[in-house]
A = this chain, B = another copy of it.
Amino acid sequence: MSGEDRRKQIVDKAIDVILQKGLAQAATRDVTRALGVGSGLLHHYFPSWAELRADAVRLAATREIEEVKALVDGVPAMEALERVADWVVDDEDMRHWRLWLNALDEAHRDDLLADVMTAAMLDWHRLIAGLLVKLGEERGATTSNADDAAWRLTALMDGLASTMLVKGSAMTARTARMLLKQQLRLECGQQA
């Protein structure tokens, strides 16, 4: 198999493994075994597990935000924001949130991951802020604080998700969705 193909295949399988076992529990052996290859092959393409893992998280995060961008493309801003709120909470099994929050946590110890997550967070912020600005334009209102509002919305998503993910927590997807939409109304009310 050609080098480039193998590389992609490894990263893809790493995403699978990480989504299934969690970022902290996933090991090089899980990837190589799932692929049916020797352990050396992984290190032939990636100098270390840290690099492969960072690449995998980067690709997964990129795919997610591209998916959302496609979901809201050409849609009126208010509906787009609500679609994002729905999408964010509707992740069955919370697999992607688990990956996201794992990565956020591991980023404290792994500079490569920190870079990846910084970039991903900025992407999300840019997306939300853009929609808020668009909303202001559609309504012909000023949008002075779209940046702040976007930070609050993205942080709220993270916080709600991490609450939801703790077993036995009182936070359900339904409640989280409601809280998110209320926040949307709070922000837009002030903005209009």
Interface residues, chain A, with chain B CB atoms under 8 Å away: 22, 24-25, 98, 101-102, 104-105, 107-109, 111, 114-115, 117-118, 121-122, 148, 151-152, 154-160, 162-163, 165-171, 175, 178-179, 182-183, 186-187, 189-190
B107 and A166 form a contact (CB under 8 A): yes
Selected contact of A187 from candidates B104, B148, B186, CB within 8 Å = B186
CB-CB under 8 A for A152 and B108, given A158-B162, A159-B158: no
B186 and A190 form a contact (CB under 8 A): yes
A187 to B111, CA, bound (A): 36
**Which DSSP category, helix, strand, loop or mixed, fits chain A's interface?**
helix
Q: List 10 A-B contacts (CB under 8 A).
A: A25-B109, A101-B104, A102-B108, A115-B168, A117-B169, A118-B166, A154-B159, A156-B156, A156-B159, A162-B162
CB-CB under 8 A for A155 and B163, given A22-B108, A186-B187: yes
Given A105-B105, A151-B175, A159-B159, list of 4 further CB < 8 A pairs? Answer: A152-B183, A157-B159, A158-B159, A189-B190
Selected contact of A166 from candidates B108, B157, B166, B183, CB within 8 Å = B108
A102 to B162, CA, bound (A): 11
Selected contact of A179 from candidates B155, B166, B179, CB within 8 Å = B155
A159 contact set on B, CB distance < 8 A: 154-160, 162
Selected contact of A108 from candidates B98, B151, B182, CB within 8 Å = B98
Selected contact of A171 from candidates B151, B166, B179, B183, CB within 8 Å = B151
A166 contact set on B, CB distance < 8 A: 104, 107-108, 114, 117-118, 121
A160 contact set on B, CB distance < 8 A: 151, 155, 159
A109 contact set on B, CB distance < 8 A: 22, 24-25
